Amino acid sequence: MNILILCGSPHREGTSNTLVKEFIRGAEEAGHKTTVYDCAHGNIHPCLGCDCCGMNGDCVQKDDGNEVLNKLLTADAVVFSTPVYYFGMSAQLKMMIDRFYARNGAITRKRMKAALIATAWNDDEVVMKGIKTHFDIIFDYLSFQNRGMVLAKGAGTVGMMPKRYYAEAYQLGQSI
């Protein structure tokens, strides 16, 4: 299986990217091919809402977005990774997801597998409620098959992140 991983953390060695590495280890050991796109450090601009793409073509933006969309359309699965900022995903990841508009129909028709890796400093139950709901809606809208979510609470730094989340990310990679 070909898996595209969209990373939204501005912290290259932070908790989200640490769990992505565990996911990749599990996925590659299971025989899957992984490709990572770093939304936080890549060249992505926001959707302009101009509708030039007609929801079925290239975006007018001259950045990495069209290439990422092409990779998405050749993937069998997509994994979203983000820290939780104010109960939602990072702006960097959101900007790439907004660009899905340019290929909305083609993405939806694929009925591809999807997963989420999210990390948050807080360890209470409320912190993951919003992001889980948001991704449940995105997955439903785009006809993605939800293969699982690692919702790592109390993971503000790599040193403080509970070790069980490493295993959850690895197992998600194995099972996607």
For the chain, domain boundaries: 2-175
Strands 113-119 and 2-7: unpaired
- The band of 66, judged by pLDDT with boundaries at 50, 70 and 90, is very high
Taking residues 63-86, what's their average pLDDT? 97
Taking residues 45-72, what's their average pLDDT? 95
- What's residue 125's pLDDT? 82
C-alpha 93/C-alpha 102 separation (Å) is 16
Query: Do residues 158 and 16 lie in contact, with contact meaning Cβ atoms separated by under 8 Å?
Result: no
Query: Would you give the distance in Å from CA 151 to the centre of its chain?
Result: 13
- What's residue 95's pLDDT? 97
Neighbouring-strand partners of residue 79? 5, 115
Report pLDDT digits (tens) over 108-141. 999 999 999 999 999 988 999 999 999 999 999 9
Evaluate if residue 9 carries a pLDDT over 90.
Answer: yes
pTM over 0.75: yes
Neighbours of 136 (CB within 10 A): 13
User: Can you point out the beta strands (E) in 43-162?
Assistant: 77-83, 113-119, 145-152
CATH no. for 2-175? 3.40.50.360
